[in-house]
């Protein structure tokens, strides 16, 4: 057994263990934060170092290949960035910071496992582990009223989604008699004409659609985002989507493009997701709720790439998953900095941001334009790739619908931008002071959004090589 392959996971496990112990000791927010950032940096280093490794572990239950390693690197980077935002983890009581880091580490660990798992039981295990850490993370909010209501709702919807998924897995097992993805890949495509197989696969996907917040499994998203501590909301919006993309790609690629029925189901979900997400977002006044509905819409775009069931489509979805991580994180970073006491930020409260912090305002503008898919940003390249893949399958109408949605989404992104750049606050607010590292991260995010928008070649080659590992 080659333990080197597991380095990123082991690093996170170590971090989790460390914070499990620290959570039992006397809390010291400063020390905890510095430790957490250090451990997260180690995780990023480990995940990038292991990016090109490959091999099978634990009797072929766990597969390490370029596909899983690229996702792990993205997850580790997202983990680091979110931890970095926790410098004054407002919104969570100081005595619970240790638990917060512990749960974030466990959640990232389980998401990494999700990216590598190729056995249905291992997938269920990893998914449940990540879901349960997130449920508790939402509960951690200092303001108990918010935390309790939304945490409970999140938990109930999530548990039902898990139940539906387990039912679907049982059906798949019943039809094929297989629990390993390699076996399923051999048997499923031939059976895709069988209604039971399609039902099973769709029900299974439901569990992952819940994570990605695809219609009709999106109802938890606005409440959970609103009720969770801001950093946790950033984690759900940015990092957990990456894991959802990874596992959805694994599951959808099992059918090997052999099913029109599956494609039709996914098309309907993608179209409704984008439309519902974008239309609902228009009415939002709370920044996190708006981001939640925009996540629903982005889940639709991601699904559009996946349902092409071609390597180009998978690559596009993977690229866009990385783009979502960067764009959403940047938006939440701005929010965390503006709402420095951990409150829920209203869009109106962004007023005068261009004067209070030109850097944050610029970062927000670039992130919003990127979310709206305006070039030259990473969001545009991602959308272009998805559209090219969809067009190759002949989905002209679908692309037009998606573009119409982009225009709708532009309206509410512009309203946010208007608040930040045009509106003046009722009373004069002090400028927002950022530490040097915080400035660096903000500049790095802007550079990534624009840089990868202008020159995405390296990343594109990487994802295209990675999706070749899928059947």
Question: What residues line the site for other proteins (CB under 8 A)?
Answer: 369, 374-376, 380, 384-385, 387-388, 391-392, 396, 399-400, 403-404, 406-407, 410-411, 414, 417-418, 421-422, 455-457, 460-461, 464
Nearer to other proteins, 101 or 314 (CB): 314
Nearer to other proteins, 159 or 384 (CB): 384
Nearest approach in angstroms of CB 279 to other proteins is 15
Nearest approach in angstroms of CB 335 to other proteins is 21
The enclosing H or E element of 81 equals: helix 66-85
Nearer to other proteins, 146 or 319 (CB): 319
Nearest approach in angstroms of CB 201 to other proteins is 28
What's the rounded Cα separation, in Å, for the pair 372 and 402?
Answer: 11
- Buried/exposed 178-202: b ≥16 CB within 10 Å, e otherwise: bbbbeebbeebbebbeeeebbbbbb
Nearest approach in angstroms of CB 400 to other proteins is 5
- Buried/exposed 39-75: b ≥16 CB within 10 Å, e otherwise: bbebbbebbeebeebeebeeeebbbbbbbbbbbbbbb
Nearest approach in angstroms of CB 239 to other proteins is 27
Question: E strands of 28-113, at which residues?
Answer: 55-57, 62-64
Nearer to other proteins, 208 or 412 (CB): 412
Nearest approach in angstroms of CB 221 to other proteins is 25
Tokens linked to 94: 């100081």
Nearer to other proteins, 265 or 375 (CB): 375
Nearer to other proteins, 198 or 306 (CB): 306
Nearest approach in angstroms of CB 367 to other proteins is 14
Between helix 378-392 and helix 436-454 the angle, nearest 10°, is 30
Residue recorded with tokens 């775009």: 301
Contact 103, 6 (CB under 8 A): no
Residues 6+ apart with CB under 8 A from 400: none
| Residue 226: C-alpha distances to residues 20, 141, 148, 280, 414 (Å) | 27, 11, 12, 15, 21
- How remote is the C-alpha of 88 from its chain's centroid? 23
Nearer to other proteins, 232 or 263 (CB): 263
What's the rounded Cα separation, in Å, for the pair 69 and 63?
Answer: 10
Nearer to other proteins, 127 or 353 (CB): 353
Nearest approach in angstroms of CB 72 to other proteins is 23
DSSP state at residue 57: E
């Amino acid at each position: 057994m080659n333990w080197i392959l597991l380095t990123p996971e082991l690093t996170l496990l170590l971090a989790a263990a460390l914070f499990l112990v620290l959570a039992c000791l006397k809390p010291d927010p400063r020390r905890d934060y510095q430790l957490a950032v250090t451990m997260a940096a180690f995780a990023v280093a480990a995940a990038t170092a292991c990016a090109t490794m490959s091999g099978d572990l634990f009797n072929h239950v766990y597969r390490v290949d370029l596909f899983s390693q690229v996702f792990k690197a993205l997850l580790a980077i997202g983990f680091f960035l979110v931890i970095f935002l926790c410098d004054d983890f407002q919104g969570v009581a100081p005595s619970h910071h240790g638990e917060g880091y512990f749960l974030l580490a466990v959640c990232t660990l389980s998401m990494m496992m999700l990216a590598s798992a190729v056995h249905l039981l291992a997938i269920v295990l990893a998914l449940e582990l990540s879901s349960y850490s997130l449920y508790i993370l939402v509960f951690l909010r200092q303001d108990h009223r918010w935390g309790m209501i939304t945490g409970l709702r999140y938990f109930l919807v999530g548990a039902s989604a898990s139940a539906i998924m387990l039912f679907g897995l049982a059906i798949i097992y019943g039809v094929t008699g297989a629990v390993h993805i390699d076996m399923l890949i051999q048997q499923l495509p031939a059976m895709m004409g069988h209604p039971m197989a399609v039902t099973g696969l769709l029900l299974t996907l439901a569990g992952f659609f819940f994570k990605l917040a695809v219609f009709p499994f999106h109802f938890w998203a606005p409440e959970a985002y609103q009720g969770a501590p801001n950093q946790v909301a950033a984690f759900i919006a940015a990092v957990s989507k990456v894991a959802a993309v990874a596992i959805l790609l694994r599951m959808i690629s099992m059918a090997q493009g052999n099913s029109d029925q599956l494609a039709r189901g996914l098309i309907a979900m993608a179209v409704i997701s984008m439309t519902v997400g974008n239309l609902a977002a228009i009415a939002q006044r709370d920044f996190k709720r708006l981001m939640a509905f925009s996540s629903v819409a982005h889940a639709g775009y991601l699904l559009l790439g996946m349902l092409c069931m071609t390597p180009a489509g998978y690559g596009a979805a993977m690229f866009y998953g990385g783009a979502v991580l960067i764009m959403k994180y940047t938006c939440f970073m701005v929010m965390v900095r503006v709402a420095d006491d951990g409150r829920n930020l209203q869009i109106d409260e962004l007023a005068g941001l261009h004067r209070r912090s030109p850097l944050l305002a610029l970062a927000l503008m670039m992130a919003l334009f990127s979310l709206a898919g305006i070039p030259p940003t990473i969001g545009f390249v991602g959308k272009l790739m998805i559209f090219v893949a969809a067009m190759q399958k002949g989905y002209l109408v679908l692309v037009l619908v998606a573009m119409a949605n982009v225009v709708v989404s532009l309206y509410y992104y512009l309203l946010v931008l208007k608040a930040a750049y045009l509106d003046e606050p009722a009373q004069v607010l002090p400028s927002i002071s950022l530490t040097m590292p915080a400035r660096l991260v903000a500049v790095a995010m802007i550079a990534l959004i624009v840089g990868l928008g202008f020159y995405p070649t390296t990343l594109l080659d990487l994802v295209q090589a990675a999706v070749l590992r899928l059947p």
